[in-house]
Amino acid sequence: MATVVVSDTQTSLQSGRKTSAESSFLTPSERAAKGKLARAAVPRSSHAIFETPTSRPDPVALLEEQATSRVPDLVPIRYGRMLTSPFAFFRGAALIMASDLAPLPHSGIPAQLCGDAHLSNFGVFASPERKLVFDLNDFDETLRGPWEWDIKRLVASFSIAGRTRGFNAKERSASVMAAANGYRAEMEALASMRNIDVWYRHFDVDTLMLELAQTRNGIRRRTESTLKKARTRDSLQAFNKLTAVVDGKVQIISQPPLLVPIDELLTQAEAAEFWGSTAKLLSTYRKSLSSDRRHLVEQFRLVDIARKVVGVGSVGTRAWVLLMLGRDDTDPLFLQAKEAQPSVLERFAGKSRYRNQGERVVAGQRLMQATSDIFLGWDQTDGIDGVRRDFYVRQLRDWKGSIDPDVIAPVGMQLYARLCGATLARAHARSGDRIAISAYLGTSPAFGRAMVSFAEAYADRNQLDYELLEQAVASGRIVARTGL
């Protein structure tokens, strides 16, 4: 069985941009042959194996390492959220899994990766045409790397979430197989398409609902409810929920520690300095937008700033909510400026070509998503501590919605898994050699069977890592703050 060591992985991926460009000028037959040669060197069955190496880093130590660059008073919240369940732990353990994936065999065919492609990082949001689309929605860890790393994180998430839900082994395997087969089938379809058609390919919700019409009523009703709720989640809804009028001025409501206005976090002098740096960030961030969208942003004024705790794995990175007002006090726009640190994949796949990590996130998102937030941009700014940090900016809410894995039934999970797998394939096909990947996968369920074995093995490892975090909290090694 062929094994690719980390140093070889970095070398091949750092030159992968050129290789990808050149491969697009090979004939389809030559590209398919490349995929088949890769399969001969690294059989699909080799992906079934996950064994914990003796030299594996301490997973808690990896989490502690990440904490050194984060806001200290928020780190215990991150640990507390990860302790909620093994699946919640998995959501925050992208670095741990990246470390585990790096020594494993892979085909040597790179693509732009999400880097954290678990099932909760897919969902619906509004396109610029105000239609709901389904896609990946988190790109903090995006980087070029082996396409297998993304699909393995995805299938592991279905196995782990299934265990958390109490699904039996057969039900979990069905979801994993659905995700793998969805990826394989979509990649096969994309391999036969023209380049331009691949770029226009997307999954709009109206079409998906037509496909759901033949499924069980319960699944359809829950999906319709999720979509209805998503359509209400916009800046106006956030405005009504997160703000109040105080002394005739619209302000963000303090909800510590999860949402805290800047004037409560800092001294008066520090707050004044922060307001100035934020105004400068907004001014220069606009340069990363197209001219029409820059013109739109310039019609809004900044009226309040707050720190917001978001997600699980992201907790502790700096995330600011910016309340903007347009024509009057009933025309809000909420932007989120989120700190972008180096991808967890970087030490294994090589450094990003972008010096600004915010630009890395934005470029990766635009490359992988069929359609992106019109306000998506990037910049960097100096903090009050004198440290210069990279940020990306997007809307806080724009018809965003996702499934709740804690309530979905096994049949619904299988349908969702297939959709996630297909969506990931479409995202990879925009930057990777879709013909070579499809040829590598073939038409049999061999890769799917390998993913079932891998996902269950990794779920076992994740459970042990979760218990190590519990032990670290119990011993006092780290402090966790639960219930937030």
% residues pLDDT > 70 (the chain): 89
What domain range is 282 assigned to?
A: 235-395
Residue pair 104/481 in contact by the 8 Å Cβ criterion: no
Residue pair 212/389 in contact by the 8 Å Cβ criterion: no
What's residue 3's pLDDT? 40
Residue pair 242/253 in contact by the 8 Å Cβ criterion: yes
Please compute the mean of the pLDDT values over residues 181-187 and round it to a whole number: 97
Question: Does the structure show a pLDDT above 50 at 442?
Answer: yes
Quick one: 242 and 381 in the same domain?
yes
Q: How far apart are CA 360 and CA 112, in angstroms?
A: 11
Q: Tell me which residue of 350, 435, 421, 461 sits closest to 177, measured CA to CA.
A: 421
Q: Is residue 484 part of a domain?
A: no
Residue pair 428/112 in contact by the 8 Å Cβ criterion: yes
pLDDT digits (tens, 9 = 90+) for 252-308: 999 999 999 999 999 999 999 999 999 999 999 999 999 999 999 999 999 999 999
Burial 72-87 (b: 16+ CB within 10 A, else e): eebbbbbbbbbbebbb
Q: Is residue 31 part of a domain?
A: yes
The token duo for 442 is 């073939």
Quick one: 302 and 347 in the same domain?
yes
**Selection from 4-18, 215-229, 362-376 with the highest mean pLDDT:** 362-376
Quick one: 96 and 163 in the same domain?
yes
Quick one: 356 and 336 in the same domain?
yes
Question: Does the structure show a pLDDT above 70 at 373?
Answer: yes
For the chain, the 3-state helix, strand and coil shares in percent, each to the nearest 5, are 50, 15, 35
CA distances from 89 to 50, 57, 69, 164, 469 (A): 19, 17, 20, 11, 9
Q: How far apart are CA 174 and CA 180, in angstroms?
A: 10
What's residue 132's pLDDT? 82
The token duo for 14 is 């750092």
- Identify which has the larger pLDDT, 7 or 395: 395
The token duo for 27 is 């004939």
Quick one: 415 and 350 in the same domain?
no
Question: Does the structure show a pLDDT above 90 at 202?
Answer: no
Quick one: 376 and 430 in the same domain?
no
Please compute the mean of the pLDDT values over residues 202-220 and round it to a whole number: 65
- Looking at the 3D structure of the chain, how many domains does it have? 2
Residue pair 455/51 in contact by the 8 Å Cβ criterion: no
Cis peptide before 257 (omega within 30 of 0): yes
pLDDT digits (tens, 9 = 90+) for 47-74: 999 999 889 999 999 999 999 999 999 9
pLDDT digits (tens, 9 = 90+) for 451-470: 999 999 999 999 999 999 99
Quick one: 410 and 368 in the same domain?
no
Residues contacting 100, CB < 8 A, separation 6+: 50, 56, 458, 461
Quick one: 134 and 198 in the same domain?
yes
Quick one: 108 and 202 in the same domain?
yes
Rounded to the nearest integer, the mean pLDDT of the chain is: 90
Please compute the mean of the pLDDT values over residues 378-396 and round it to a whole number: 91
Q: Which of 367, 395, 423 is the last residue of a domain?
A: 395
Quick one: 67 and 212 in the same domain?
yes
Q: Is residue 211 part of a domain?
A: yes
Q: Tell me which residue of 395, 390, 414 sits closest to 335, measured CA to CA.
A: 395
pLDDT digits (tens, 9 = 90+) for 3-47: 433 334 554 554 445 445 556 589 999 999 999 999 999 999 999
Query: Kind and range of the H or E element at 157?
Result: helix 147-165
Torsional sign, CA 424, 425, 427, 433: positive
Q: Which of 395, 427, 461 is the last residue of a domain?
A: 395
What's residue 402's pLDDT? 75
What band does 238 get if pLDDT is binned at 50, 70 and 90? confident
Query: Kind and range of the H or E element at 201?
Result: none
Quick one: 208 and 247 in the same domain?
no
Quick one: 336 and 432 in the same domain?
no
Q: Which of 341, 365, 395 is the last residue of a domain?
A: 395
Q: Is residue 435 part of a domain?
A: yes
Q: How far apart are CA 16 and CA 432, in angstroms?
A: 9
Residue keyed to tokens 């990860």: 82
- H-helix segments, 389-441: 410-429, 434-441
Please compute the mean of the pLDDT values over residues 435-451 and round it to a whole number: 97
Q: Is residue 479 part of a domain?
A: no
